[in-house]
Structure 1
């Protein structure tokens, strides 16, 4: 793994870790747990299907880094997903601005990931990335609504 990639990944974890420490927690522990699982499963399914089966991209080029790649896949996207959910506004107008910010942030982050060598496009392109993050952010909006609705229906 290149020094540039290691710095990028450590910086990403440091950035998200500091935010997690200082952010007001608006999600319950159960919501964080459920979101962690959902984001991780979606990440793994997408990377297996799009990256391995369709061979549109690779993550970390070195074969010896498969365990590191797996750890990244089950942690970093989930951290960002929880952060996204934690601050998501309920009002539609505010959500639209929030949504546009997160799609832009996600596409920019993936572009940096390509630049430092974490992601290697083979048949993938930036337009697919934009579409994917539009879907992911809208799905997480639905997920937010679904788990909050479920919590209210099962309140004791």
Structure 2
């Protein structure tokens, strides 16, 4: 069931990304992929591996598929988040994505991708609050940096 869930997640995310109006440049996509992947791997190493608060699809220890999934699914969500992020009225958008992320995480638990060991849902709320706020700052920074010399 876990692989079906992950495959369906990839399919839906790719359809959304291919069909959505592109508001991000290729440089923004590339930088966002690296930043989101780095943060995801860092968080998973700290919280899952070092603190042992949850497992991600652990079948006979870490697999190469773990790294691929950990670096791509969050980045795909990050692309969608940044692509549709409004300049104004951000609070509603921010809250929507935090709630959506919690719901997606709980669906991931149901299908066996995530297994809480000591993790609490409110840790996720705090993490997603940080992640969504960070992504807004990240987006402002890369826009300012990329387009600084083009004006």
TM class, shorter-length: over 0.9
Of residues 87, 91, 105, the one that matches 1:90 is 87
Q: Which runs of 4+ in 1 moved over 2 A?
A: none
* Unmatched segments (≥5 aa) in structure 1: none
Of residues 65, 76, 80, the one that matches 2:77 is 80
Q: CA–CA distance in 1 between the matches of 2:49 and 2:24?
A: 33
Of residues 120, 128, 132, the one that matches 1:137 is 132
* Paired residue total: 151
* Unmatched segments (≥5 aa) in structure 2: none
Q: Residue 119 of structure 2 aligns with which residue? A: 124
Q: CA–CA distance in 2 between the matches of 1:132 and 1:9?
A: 22
Equivalent position SS for 2:106: helix
Equivalent position SS for 1:154: helix
Q: Residue 114 of structure 1 aligns with which residue? A: 109
Equivalent position SS for 1:63: coil
Q: Residue 99 of structure 2 aligns with which residue? A: 104
Alignment root-mean-square deviation, CA = 1.2
Q: Residue 25 of structure 1 aligns with which residue? A: 22
Q: CA–CA distance in 1 between the matches of 2:126 and 2:21?
A: 30
Q: CA–CA distance in 2 between the matches of 1:44 and 1:67?
A: 13
Give the alignment's TM-score, normalised by structure 1: 0.93
